[in-house]
C-alpha cells in the first residue's frame, strides 16, 4: 500500500505521489540517502535524521506543489507499494546549481531522480522520467526539460537519452572534481539554456 500523500501520476509499474510530513517518520529518505552507492554521484547528504528530513520536506518539497505538475514525488512500485525512490520535476531555476548550469529561464523544467539500488537496472527511472517528459510536452508553458549529471554517471545520462533529452554541453559544479553534463529536450524555436 502506498503511504499517505496525494497521488500525482501512475505508470504501468509506478505510482508517483507528493511527499508528506509522515514520510520523515517512515525514514524513506534517510534510508535512501544512507546508501553510499545511491549518493555516489550527488555528494553526501547534509541531512542525517528524521527531523532534518521533515524540515526539508516542509521547506523544500511542499512549496513546489503550488503548481499541480511540479515537485519532488515519492515513487512506489505497483502493485505492492514498495518505496523505490523519488523523481523531481521542478522549475529549473530552483536547482541549487542553476547559475552554473545556466538554467535561468522560468519556463524550463528540471527532471531528476534518485532510486534505491534494488530498483536499478529495471527501467523504472526511464519509465517515471518518460511520463514526466510527456507532461512537459503537453504543457504549453514549458519551453524545455533539462537534466544534469556528472559525466561518469553514465547510467543516469542513459535514462535522459531514452527520454528524448539530447546532450547539450558540459559545465563545472562547485565542489565536484568531475565535470557535469547537461541534457535538454527543447520545444521548437527554443535553444538549450545556458548555450
- Domain ranges for the chain: 7-186
Q: Which residues have a Cβ under 8 Å from the Cβ of 193 and sit 6 or more positions away?
A: 92, 101, 102, 103, 104, 105, 108, 144, 146, 182, 184
pLDDT, one tens digit per residue, over 87-121 is 999 999 999 899 999 999 999 999 999 999 999 99
Quote the CATH superfamily of domain 7-186. Answer: Gcn5-related N-acetyltransferase (GNAT) (3.40.630.30)
Return the number of other C-beta atoms located less than 10 Å from residue 80's C-beta: 8
Percent over 70 (pLDDT), the chain? 94
User: Could you tell me the three cell numbers for 84?
Assistant: 523505490
Mean pLDDT of the chain: 90
Please tell me the predicted confidence (pLDDT) of residue 187.
94
Amino acid at each position: 500500500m502506498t503511504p499517505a500523500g496525494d497521488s500525482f501520476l501512475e505508470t504501468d509499474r509506478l505510482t508517483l505521489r507528493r511527499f508528506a510530513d509522515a514520510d520523515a517518520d517512515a525514514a524513506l529518505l534517510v534510508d535512501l540517502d544512507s546508501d553510499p552507492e545511491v549518493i555516489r554521484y550527488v555528494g553526501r547528504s547534509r541531512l542525517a535524521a528524521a527531523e532534518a528530513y521533515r524540515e526539508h520536506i516542509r521547506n523544500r518539497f511542499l512549496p513546489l506543489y503550488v503548481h499541480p505538475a511540479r515537485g519532488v514525488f515519492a515513487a512506489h512500485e505497483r502493485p505492492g507499494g514498495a518505496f523505490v525512490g523519488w523523481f523531481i520535476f521542478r522549475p529549473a531555476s530552483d536547482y541549487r546549481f542553476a547559475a552554473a548550469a545556466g538554467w535561468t529561464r522560468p519556463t524550463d523544467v528540471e527532471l531528476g531522480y534518485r532510486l534505491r539500488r534494488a530498483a536499478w537496472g529495471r527501467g523504472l527511472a526511464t519509465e517515471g522520467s518518460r511520463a514526466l517528459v510527456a507532461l512537459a510536452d503537453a504543457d504549453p508553458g514549458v519551453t524545455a526539460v533539462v537534466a544534469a549529471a556528472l559525466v561518469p554517471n553514465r547510467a543516469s545520462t542513459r535514462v535522459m537519452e531514452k527520454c528524448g533529452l539530447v546532450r547539450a554541453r558540459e559545465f563545472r559544479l562547485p565542489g565536484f572534481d568531475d565535470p557535469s553534463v547537461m541534457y535538454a529536450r527543447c520545444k521548437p524555436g527554443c535553444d538549450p539554456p545556458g548555450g
